Structure 1
Amino acid sequence: MKELLLKRKSRFILYLIACLLPVVDRFFTNFAIALLIGSVQVGSMDYFIKICLITIGLIILGVILFIISRFMRISFMRDTLLDVRLMAFDKIINSSYKSFSQKSKDTYISNLINDINIIEREFFLSLINIIYNAGIYIVSLILIAFLDFKFALIAFAASIILYVTSKLFEKRTIALQERVSDENEKFAVDMSNTFNGLEILKLNRIEDQFLSKALKSVTGLERKKLDYNIYTDGQSRILELLGFSFLIISLIYLSSLFMRGITLTEGTFMVQLSNSCVWSIIAVLPRVNQLKSSVKIFDKITKYEEDTSNSLTKDKEFEFEKEIEVKNLSFRYGEKEVFKDVSFKIEKVKKYLIKGPSGAGKSTLIKLLSMIYDDYTGEIKVDGVDYREIKEKSLNDNVSFIYQDVFLFEDTIFNNIALYKPYTEEEVLEAAKKSGLDSLLSKKENGLYEMLLENGKNLSGGERQRISIARAIIKNSKLLFIDEATSSLDEELGRKIEETILSLNSTVIAISHRYYEGITEKYDYVLEIKNGQVNQYDGNEYFMEVAI
């Protein structure tokens, strides 16, 4: 957070000045009040009127200083909060698939909304209060030292006591704020699950059970917020009690000074200074703890988690010209051993079909070959280069995925194929034609620039899959992973999609339970997973002999 605040040094300095401007107004007002009370001792109407005019002038000055302070602060806060949002979003976008998939998508939404709201509310509110009250404390202590050094020492000693007391609350304040953040994430996930399945809930008349679950989730969140608020308020009350004790000691000491003959103006001003000194430090210390807790939240949503699963430096490019070799590969998913000492090869431009019973590890094998999982033993090498040495971005630039459920943006067909990359219209149109989207484009008034509804609701399942294929074609992917792309399509559409996939000039590794006579046999090889082993067969031989 420190680096972020100092990113705009000149504007941060102006922000500090803006936070301190009300301090000037505070002391002018205190001095004016002291003069007003002291005018009673003077006993002159002319003097009283003069002091009243000075007081009015200082009040007007205070209003002007507040407005100036507000305008000087607001732009810096706005831009810094924008940076926080961008940093949080950047962390999510640039996370590896492995890292990203460890949390629910709704957790990330909670980070972008709830946690940033905490930072906006807790960090900046705490920061401005700390600067303002610290300014009051320092100036008050200096002025007290000029007026009575012994009294300044008493005030400083009281500050130390208050500070030590506040430190006792620090760790738990931070922990409680983190619990609120975690509960916000859990609440977002629970609510998302409920709303995503709302149609099923209503059709099966089980709303009451999920209403009870939702209420429990809300109660848990509000309980965590209550714990945090009670604890921070309790901290403030304890500090206030200590502050009142010091104020009583101050009044006893000042009464002795009155007996020695100080003026009413001096006495009033010293009372106000001691009051400002104590209450400013009481206001600051809980805010310091809240500030630290919000910094923890900032670190949580913006700092990248260190990936210690890989000790090798990833500095090699993904160059696939000959083969991918899997050698003595073993992999466990939790307690389950999925693969044991597996070896096989993937040749460039060949087509591979992965077969095996449900739960055998078909999707896991794709995730291993696409570098999503890297906590395996053995070797996966592409043209002799270990996967663990290859930059993830380089692999992603050369790989495409086609899933059963294709996600489409609420945007044009053009942008859904190009995925917002700078391809020309000719390149996108060529990819669309090769993927079999000609008939779709001819039916649409705006062609490539036809807008799609939310997640492509105005397209058929086959059209959605063809857009997914067009993405792979325009990307010129060397390696194409397919997971049950045709399972939800009818026979005719499935055959067409499968034929299109097998005609691509890419290495294809596909999972499919569907069999299309005359087409499925065109796969060069079949990788059959059974009992943790991967057996490789020639495609024709497999469907003629093994699969019978």
Structure 2
Amino acid sequence: MKLYGKYFKKYKFPFLVAVFCVALEAVCDLLGPTLMSNIINTGIEQGSLTHVTYWGIRMLLVTLVGACFAVTRNILASKVSQRMGADLRYDLFEKIVYFSEDSADKIESGSLITRMTNDTAQITQFVNGIMRIFLKAPITCIGSIVLATLLNVKLSLIIYMVVAVVAIFIIISMKLSYPRFYQLQKAMDKVNLTVQEYLIGVRFVKAFGTYDKETERFEETNTNLMQKGISSQIVITLIAPLMTLTVGIGTVIAIYLGSRLFTVNLATPGDITAFTIYMAQILTSLIMITNIFNTFVRTKASTLRIKEVFDCGGDFTEDGERKELNGSIKFKNVTFAYPGGSGVPAIKDLSFSVDTGQSLAIIGPTGSGKSTIAWLLLRFYDVNSGKILIGGYDVKELNINSLRDNIAIVPQKPMLFSGTVAQNIRWGDSDADEDMLHMAADKAQAGFIRQMPEEFDSVLGSSGVNISGGQKQRISIARGLLKKSSILILDDATSALDAVTEAKVRENIDAQARKQTIITITQRCGTAMSSDKILVMDNGVKVGFGTHKELMENCEIYQDIYRTQIESSKEG
């Protein structure tokens, strides 16, 4: 449990106070049978009301004190466990926020949600249990055994045998439960992922009418979760009754032997009564201990899954001072293959350079590595070999925030968040005033915003579900323009726009100060033609680099693209 060391250290004082209260509460519980024995032996058996009252008042006071300790530890347990759970969720989220792309690829989003909710809740429940009952059970069990032994050594032998048998059951339960609970958590991951994928792609499901297929897919994962749940609980279901039976048999034997000892004056009625109560306490404690170990097994599985998140690589080093970079870009013999992928390089020995203020278009067929260039510039991944220089600096030597402060990207698939239009655009610059906001929207040809009910204060649904694809792209472009970074990457950012709107957006972008380097990733030759330089990619390899005129003279692939898109459309 080293993973949780800092949390226990933070809440050390209330935790220790709760443990102290639990220990004293257990002592109060243990005094009960002994006091009951005194009431029977010195009061009821001898017919002394004074002794009954004397020991009865003490028993009542001990019970009241125990109740006070119980209330205190319950309050502390609830506060500490919930605060620790909140801290753990925060740290997990913070870790996920700084995930490297490699780490994000390793753990599916559905699994991350389960780990932040279900697994964290399991940890919270375990901490609450430690402070409330987990420590009480062994104290009560050991105390009952000791006090029962002091009452009658001969009868106590029965307890030792019962505890030995129950210990075997507990060990068997732990051995069988752990792998089952781990599989249960993985099955829960699959259910969450299935539901998440459906909710994200609900429109496609409706469009293709694949309701039955999605229902079958969920039924499969749901049934798997049910089976794993039954498998994990079956061990507890079988072991718990066996433990109860063992302690019950022990109690019957204790009463039988106690009656025999009573006949020969080796045991008193009070001792036998107290011994029976201690046996009941031992039974309760053993069942609690079994639950403790089962909870521990589940917590161990959850801890392993949470540790996997913390062990994942984060975004690259934050060391180094922040720099304001110019927009010059240089790739030197860059080769890169996606980690965990096929191993085939997405980029092979790529070299090119762009000066500050120039515009670069990257064009090529699907899968040629165009978007990969953008991910490498933003350093979502590190290159396998070669160097990438921005503003004359190797990106590996730059502070990651400094690097990304100097780059704005408008992705191929617009990513909008639930909130107002203004909040989404201000992702580019949180300090932007109203005039800057409106100017960015105008440059992105997002005039439709003023026709919305609340204009810039209109609320967008998650992922912008209440606006069209073209409107999403224009808001996303406005966000990128608002950032005013030294490099602006447009990753097929106008694919949902008509030719007229796209031309106006391009004109507005080109009219910006030429200190900004514009990189346009596109499959449209018409979009690429107006750029200062055009990089032609094919299967991860540079097959052409230069102006439109130069490529029309010496790049066969670019000529094919031009003939297919431009000349054929003219003929049509």
What residue identity is the alignment partner of 1:270?
A: F
SS at structure 2 position matched to 1:349:
coil
- The answer as to whether partners of 1:427 and 1:474 remain within 8 angstroms in 2 is no
1:228 corresponding residue in structure 2: 232
In the alignment, the residues of structure 2 paired with residue 305 and residue 521 of structure 1 have an alpha-carbon distance, to the nearest angstrom, of 47
Alpha-carbon shift at residue 17 of structure 1 (Å): 3.6
SS at structure 1 position matched to 2:281:
helix
What residue identity is the alignment partner of 1:27?
A: L
Q: Are residues 507 and 133 of structure 1, via their aligned partners in 2, closer, same or farther at CA, if it must alter by over 3 Å?
A: same
What residue identity is the alignment partner of 1:189?
A: L
SS at structure 1 position matched to 2:387:
strand
Alpha-carbon shift at residue 163 of structure 1 (Å): 4.5
Q: After TM superposition, list the pairs within 5 Å mapping 1:12-23 onto structure 2.
A: 12-20=15-23, 22-23=25-26
Alpha-carbon shift at residue 43 of structure 1 (Å): 3.4
Q: Are residues 458 and 286 of structure 1, via their aligned partners in 2, closer, same or farther at CA, if it must alter by over 3 Å?
A: closer
In the alignment, the residues of structure 1 paired with residue 212 and residue 470 of structure 2 have an alpha-carbon distance, to the nearest angstrom, of 38
1:297 corresponding residue in structure 2: 302
Q: Which shifted more, 212-221 or 276-285? A: 276-285
What residue identity is the alignment partner of 1:376?
A: N
Unaligned 5+ segments in structure 1 are none
Q: Are residues 532 and 134 of structure 1, via their aligned partners in 2, closer, same or farther at CA, if it must alter by over 3 Å?
A: same
SS at structure 2 position matched to 1:336:
coil
Q: After TM superposition, list the pairs within 5 Å mapping 1:49-68 onto structure 2.
A: 65-68=69-72
Alpha-carbon shift at residue 334 of structure 1 (Å): 0.8
What residue identity is the alignment partner of 1:86?
A: Y
- The answer as to whether partners of 1:526 and 1:537 remain within 8 angstroms in 2 is yes
Out of 339, 356, 366, the position equivalent to 1:348 is 356
In the alignment, the residues of structure 2 paired with residue 180 and residue 420 of structure 1 have an alpha-carbon distance, to the nearest angstrom, of 42
CA offset digits 1:330-362 (Å, max 9, x no partner) = 333414343333322343332221111122222
In the alignment, the residues of structure 1 paired with residue 334 and residue 495 of structure 2 have an alpha-carbon distance, to the nearest angstrom, of 29
2:118 corresponding residue in structure 1: 114
In the alignment, the residues of structure 2 paired with residue 350 and residue 184 of structure 1 have an alpha-carbon distance, to the nearest angstrom, of 51
Q: After TM superposition, list the pairs within 5 Å mapping 1:377-388 onto structure 2.
A: 377-382=385-390, 385-388=393-396
What residue identity is the alignment partner of 1:415?
A: Q
For the pair 1:324 / 2:334, whether they are aligned, the reply is no
1:514 corresponding residue in structure 2: 524
Q: Are residues 479 and 147 of structure 1, via their aligned partners in 2, closer, same or farther at CA, if it must alter by over 3 Å?
A: farther
What residue identity is the alignment partner of 1:30?
A: P
Q: After TM superposition, list the pairs within 5 Å mapping 1:123-142 onto structure 2.
A: 124-125=128-129, 128-142=132-146
So what's the TM-score if we normalise by structure 1? Answer: 0.84
2:285 corresponding residue in structure 1: 280
What residue identity is the alignment partner of 1:88?
A: L
In the alignment, the residues of structure 1 paired with residue 355 and residue 241 of structure 2 have an alpha-carbon distance, to the nearest angstrom, of 72
Q: Are residues 87 and 30 of structure 1, via their aligned partners in 2, closer, same or farther at CA, if it must alter by over 3 Å?
A: farther
- The answer as to whether partners of 2:327 and 2:355 remain within 8 angstroms in 1 is yes
- The answer as to whether partners of 1:175 and 1:293 remain within 8 angstroms in 2 is no
Q: Are residues 12 and 65 of structure 1, via their aligned partners in 2, closer, same or farther at CA, if it must alter by over 3 Å?
A: closer
What residue identity is the alignment partner of 2:110?
A: D
In the alignment, the residues of structure 2 paired with residue 206 and residue 469 of structure 1 have an alpha-carbon distance, to the nearest angstrom, of 33
For the pair 1:473 / 2:481, whether they are aligned, the reply is yes
In the alignment, the residues of structure 1 paired with residue 476 and residue 152 of structure 2 have an alpha-carbon distance, to the nearest angstrom, of 79
What residue identity is the alignment partner of 1:492?
A: V
SS at structure 2 position matched to 1:42:
coil
For the pair 1:70 / 2:74, whether they are aligned, the reply is yes
For the pair 1:374 / 2:377, whether they are aligned, the reply is no
Q: Which shifted more, 523-532 or 341-350? A: 341-350
Q: Are residues 40 and 341 of structure 1, via their aligned partners in 2, closer, same or farther at CA, if it must alter by over 3 Å?
A: same
Q: Are residues 84 and 432 of structure 1, via their aligned partners in 2, closer, same or farther at CA, if it must alter by over 3 Å?
A: same
Q: Between the two proteins, what is the percent identity of the paired residues?
A: 23
In the alignment, the residues of structure 2 paired with residue 313 and residue 26 of structure 1 have an alpha-carbon distance, to the nearest angstrom, of 55
1:419 corresponding residue in structure 2: 427
- The answer as to whether partners of 2:327 and 2:486 remain within 8 angstroms in 1 is no
1:266 corresponding residue in structure 2: 271
- The answer as to whether partners of 1:486 and 1:514 remain within 8 angstroms in 2 is no
SS at structure 1 position matched to 2:368:
coil
Alpha-carbon shift at residue 189 of structure 1 (Å): 1.2
1:85 corresponding residue in structure 2: 89
SS at structure 1 position matched to 2:460:
coil
Alpha-carbon shift at residue 193 of structure 1 (Å): 2.6
SS at structure 1 position matched to 2:493:
coil
In the alignment, the residues of structure 2 paired with residue 266 and residue 427 of structure 1 have an alpha-carbon distance, to the nearest angstrom, of 88
Alpha-carbon shift at residue 279 of structure 1 (Å): 4.3
Q: Are residues 271 and 537 of structure 1, via their aligned partners in 2, closer, same or farther at CA, if it must alter by over 3 Å?
A: same
Q: Are residues 242 and 167 of structure 1, via their aligned partners in 2, closer, same or farther at CA, if it must alter by over 3 Å?
A: same
Alpha-carbon shift at residue 199 of structure 1 (Å): 4.4
What residue identity is the alignment partner of 1:513?
A: Q
SS at structure 2 position matched to 1:109:
helix
Q: Are residues 128 and 2 of structure 1, via their aligned partners in 2, closer, same or farther at CA, if it must alter by over 3 Å?
A: farther
1:538 corresponding residue in structure 2: 546
In the alignment, the residues of structure 2 paired with residue 295 and residue 458 of structure 1 have an alpha-carbon distance, to the nearest angstrom, of 43
CA offset digits 1:478-512 (Å, max 9, x no partner) = 33332211111222222223333444443233221
1:408 corresponding residue in structure 2: 416
What residue identity is the alignment partner of 2:298?
A: S
What residue identity is the alignment partner of 2:417?
A: F
Q: Which shifted more, 246-255 or 229-238? A: 246-255
In the alignment, the residues of structure 1 paired with residue 85 and residue 497 of structure 2 have an alpha-carbon distance, to the nearest angstrom, of 46
2:373 corresponding residue in structure 1: 365
Aligned length: 545
What residue identity is the alignment partner of 2:94?
A: D
In the alignment, the residues of structure 1 paired with residue 521 and residue 458 of structure 2 have an alpha-carbon distance, to the nearest angstrom, of 32
- The answer as to whether partners of 2:328 and 2:353 remain within 8 angstroms in 1 is yes
Q: Which shifted more, 143-152 or 224-233? A: 143-152
In the alignment, the residues of structure 1 paired with residue 428 and residue 51 of structure 2 have an alpha-carbon distance, to the nearest angstrom, of 74
- The answer as to whether partners of 1:123 and 1:290 remain within 8 angstroms in 2 is no
CA offset digits 1:26-83 (Å, max 9, x no partner) = 2344345434554442234565566666666666666555444433432223222222
Alpha-carbon shift at residue 186 of structure 1 (Å): 0.5
In the alignment, the residues of structure 2 paired with residue 352 and residue 341 of structure 1 have an alpha-carbon distance, to the nearest angstrom, of 19
In the alignment, the residues of structure 2 paired with residue 292 and residue 306 of structure 1 have an alpha-carbon distance, to the nearest angstrom, of 21
What residue identity is the alignment partner of 1:410?
A: S
In the alignment, the residues of structure 2 paired with residue 532 and residue 445 of structure 1 have an alpha-carbon distance, to the nearest angstrom, of 46
Alpha-carbon shift at residue 146 of structure 1 (Å): 4.9
In the alignment, the residues of structure 1 paired with residue 265 and residue 472 of structure 2 have an alpha-carbon distance, to the nearest angstrom, of 91
What residue identity is the alignment partner of 1:331?
A: F
Alpha-carbon shift at residue 92 of structure 1 (Å): 2.0
Q: Are residues 308 and 58 of structure 1, via their aligned partners in 2, closer, same or farther at CA, if it must alter by over 3 Å?
A: closer
2:170 corresponding residue in structure 1: 166
Q: Are residues 430 and 21 of structure 1, via their aligned partners in 2, closer, same or farther at CA, if it must alter by over 3 Å?
A: farther
Q: Which shifted more, 133-142 or 319-328? A: 319-328
In the alignment, the residues of structure 2 paired with residue 236 and residue 494 of structure 1 have an alpha-carbon distance, to the nearest angstrom, of 70
Q: Are residues 238 and 524 of structure 1, via their aligned partners in 2, closer, same or farther at CA, if it must alter by over 3 Å?
A: farther
In the alignment, the residues of structure 2 paired with residue 261 and residue 327 of structure 1 have an alpha-carbon distance, to the nearest angstrom, of 94
Alpha-carbon shift at residue 164 of structure 1 (Å): 6.0
Out of 174, 177, 184, the position equivalent to 2:181 is 177
Q: Are residues 94 and 507 of structure 1, via their aligned partners in 2, closer, same or farther at CA, if it must alter by over 3 Å?
A: same
For the pair 1:339 / 2:347, whether they are aligned, the reply is yes
